[in-house]
Amino acid sequence: MNAYGTRAIVMWVAVLLLGGLSPGCGGDSAVRDAPTGSLGDEAIRQRCNAEGRRVAETDVDNDGDPDIRHVFEGERESCVQFDMNFDGVVDITRFFNEDGRTVLQEEHDFDFDGRIDQIAYFTNGVLVRKELDTNFDNRIDTWVWCAGRLYARQERDRLHTGRVDTWEYFDNGLLREARYDDNNDGNPERWEFFRLGRLAEVRRDVDIDGEPDQREEIPPEHAGEREAALTCDGSPPPPPPTEPNAAPPPSSGGDGGTAPAQEPETPSTAEGMPWEEVSDVPPAGQRDGGTR
């Protein structure tokens, strides 16, 4: 095994012994700016500011530079950071609640460029929401809300224009409905409905009046492979639901698959998702200055 492999194993063992992996630190004690578009509380991030606080550092690979850094407010640990690839830069940061043990927030730098790519938010130690920069441009483009360990809702800046253009709703982690703003006017013009993880119907607002004008049913043989449920914590998805032998098709207008459509279904709020139909992303005119 090469030297890097040995050091990596030592690092991971040390992390496990020190309380589990999920945050990154390094020799750099500065608190990095959150990416543009983050909806997080900036005050929480200051819990890792070492000024006026006690700091304990660990040099895991004995190269003279600290790889794990704990910050304490009195006797209470307020944050811990890890440098996972031994380059002297924080890769993962974990912030603790007032008890010094319960996780409040985590930040991850997946591509080791010194910038935050994901922020995870916890309530009572349970992951409830995530923000991601999926194209590594230092701008949040995906917001995820969780129900337990499964996806409940997701908003995306799919076109990377600085505003939300895709809204997705899930049942038990399976995509149920997706709404797309293809012309970037702030309103959806296309709706996709799914049945047990497979696309079943597409509706379109052709005249851009805010109402769907066309409906296209997707035959099961053209629906593609079933999508797996999405988990917020990266754990394996639950087994897929049993598919009935002959599921009834969506209602048809009888014109070969394209017909005037009814109003899009309102996403169910019965699955422990009180945030349905409510966006936490400010309107476009309010997103400047570090919000979005």
What was the pLDDT predicted at 62? 87
What was the pLDDT predicted at 193? 97
The token duo for 268 is: 């169910």
What was the pLDDT predicted at 247? 53
Positions of the chain with pLDDT lower than 70, given as ranges? 1-30, 245-292
pTM of the model: 0.73
Instruction: State the Cα–Cα distance between residues 200 and 193, nearest whole angstrom.
Output: 6
Contact present, 83 and 67 (Cβ < 8 Å):
yes
Residue in the structure block whose two tokens are 């895709």: 166
β-strand partners of 139? 36
- For 40, phi then psi, to 5°, come to -75, 170
CA dist list (Å): 47 to 19, 36, 79, 152, 198: 18, 20, 6, 29, 44
DSSP string, 82-144: E-TTSSSS--EEEEE-TTSSSEEEEEE-TTSSSS--EEEEEETTEEEEEEE-TTSSSB--EEE
What was the pLDDT predicted at 241? 86
3-state secondary structure of 266: coil
What was the pLDDT predicted at 146? 98
Contact present, 183 and 176 (Cβ < 8 Å):
no
Give Cα 46 to chain centroid, integer Å.
Answer: 22
3-state secondary structure of 80: strand
**Residue 101: half-sphere exposure toward Cβ, Cα within 13 Å:** 1
What was the pLDDT predicted at 251? 52
3-state secondary structure of 76: strand
What was the pLDDT predicted at 269? 34
Instruction: State the Cα–Cα distance between residues 274 and 227, nearest whole angstrom.
Output: 24
What was the pLDDT predicted at 242? 83
Contact present, 76 and 62 (Cβ < 8 Å):
no
What was the pLDDT predicted at 28? 43
Single out the residue of 249, 177, 259 nearest to residue 212, CA to CA: 259
- For 240, phi then psi, to 5°, come to -65, 150
Instruction: State the Cα–Cα distance between residues 96 and 85, nearest whole angstrom.
Output: 23
What was the pLDDT predicted at 64? 87
